[in-house]
Amino acid sequence: MASMNPDPTPVVESKKVWTTLITNTAYLTGLLTLDYSLKKQNSAYPLVALYTDTFPEEGHKALEVRGIPKKHIKYLLPSLHKDFTNDPRFYDCWSKLAPFSLVEYDRVVQLDSDMLVLQNMDELMDLELDPRSMAGKGDRVFAASHACVCNPLKKPHYPKNWIPENCAFTSQHDTPEEAQTQGASPAIGLGMPNGGLQVVNPSTEVFQLIQDQLAKDTTIDYDFADQSLLGDVFHGRWVALPYVYNALKTLRHKGVHHQIWQDDRVKNIHYILSPKPWDEKPGEESEESHAWWWKTNKERLAAEQGRGIDDGF
C-alpha cells in the first residue's frame, strides 16, 4: 500500500493537534461548528482538517477563509471491497485511521465532524499512551470510548450480537458516578471502540499493523469498518475513556443508557446516525440535544458575519 502520509510536513507549529476527516461538503457545516466549539472552550490546540481528493473547491475556500489548517491524505480502503449499501458512511470511515500515520505530530486526537465540544478536554493531549518505541505491542496503544452495541434503533442489518447485554455501557448502569470519569474495561462485552474520537501517538509501526490488516481477507467481516479493525487488532489493548468524551446522542435516550448520562458532565457530544442537527431547522429539532448544536452554530454564524464571512456553510 502507498503511504497515506507521503508528505509529513507539519501544517501547524503545534506538536499536538485535533484532526477531523472531511471528504465532501455534506459534513462541512458540522466541521466548522466543531472548530468553533473547540475555540469557544479555549482549547490550546488547533484543529486540522484532513481532506481527501473528493473534497471540492468550495470546501477548500470555506476552510481557508476561516483560517482552518488542512492536510491532504490518501483515501484508505481495504484490499477486499465490502458492500456498505446499508451504511454508505462506512466507505469513508477507513480513512479515519489516518491519524496513526501522522508522524509529524506527537499526539493526534481524531474527532468526527458531527461532534460538538461542550467542555475543554485538552487533558486528552497528555493522556498516557504507549510510546512509539513499543511499536503497537503494549496495552495502551490508543484511547477511545466504547461503541454502544445496543442497536437502539433496531436496525435489521446490524449484527445479532449487538444487544444491551453485550454493551460496555450497560455494565456501568449501577455505578453512574464512576461512569463519568472511568470507562469500562476495553475487553468487556464486544470490546469495540467507537471511532468517533481516537487519541493516538502516531507511529509508523502501528500504522503498518493497520495496513497489514487491511490487506487481509478478514476485513470482509468488519461490519463497522475502522472501529471493527481497531477492536480486533488491538483487542483489550486500548484505553477505554468514559462516555463523556464521545457522548453518543443515543445514550441519552430513555431506555438506552440514560442511567449514566448527565448533561452537565458531557464534554463532547457525538451526533451519530441520521438526522444530523444541520439536516433540521432550528426550532424543529427531533431531539433536545440537537438544539445545543443549533445554539452554537448560530453563535458561529453571527461571529463569521461580523468578519464578513457568509458563504452558506
- DSSP string covering 249-277: GGGGSTTTTTTT--GGG-SEEE--SSSPG
DSSP state at residue 185: P
Q: How far is CA 282 from CA 34, 114, 249, 292, 310, in A?
A: 17, 16, 18, 10, 18
- The pLDDT assigned to 92 comes to 66
Query: Which residues share a beta bridge with 144?
Result: 198, 240
Cα gap 65→304, rounded to integer Å:
10
Q: DSSP label at 147?
A: P
Residue 70 has pLDDT above 80, yes or no: yes
Residues 52 and 95: beta-carbon distance below 8 Å: yes
**0.75 surpassed by pTM:** yes
80 pLDDT band, cuts 50/70/90, is low
Helices (H) and strands (E) in the chain, counts: 7, 10
Q: Which amino acid is at 57?
A: E
What residue type is assigned to position 34 of the chain?
A: L
Q: CB of 270 within 8 A of CB of 248? A: yes
**CB-based contacts of 154: which residues, under 8 Å, 6+ apart?**
none
Tens-digit pLDDT profile for residues 249-289:
999 999 999 999 999 999 999 999 999 999 999 999 999 99
Cβ burial, residue 242 (10 Å; 0-12/13-18/19+): buried
Cell of 93: 470511515
Least confident of 77-81, 100-104, 115-119: 77-81
Pick from 266, 278, 224: nearest CA to 114 = 278
* Residues 168, 50: Cα–Cα separation, whole Å: 30
Residue range 203-235, pLDDT digits in tens: 999 999 988 898 888 878 777 778 988 999 999
Mean pLDDT of 104-109: 98
Contact 115, 197 (CB under 8 A): yes
pLDDT higher than threshold 50 for residue 41: yes
pLDDT digits (tens, 9 = 90+) for 149-195: 999 989 998 999 999 999 999 999 999 999 999 999 999 999 999 99
Mean pLDDT of the chain: 92
145: which 3 cell numbers? Answer: 470510548
Classified by CATH at the fold level, domain 16-301 comes out as Spore Coat Polysaccharide Biosynthesis Protein SpsA; Chain A (3.90.550)
Residue 129: CB atoms within 10 Å: 19
Query: Do residues 98 and 76 lie in contact, with contact meaning Cβ atoms separated by under 8 Å?
Result: yes
Average confidence (pLDDT) over 21-33: 96
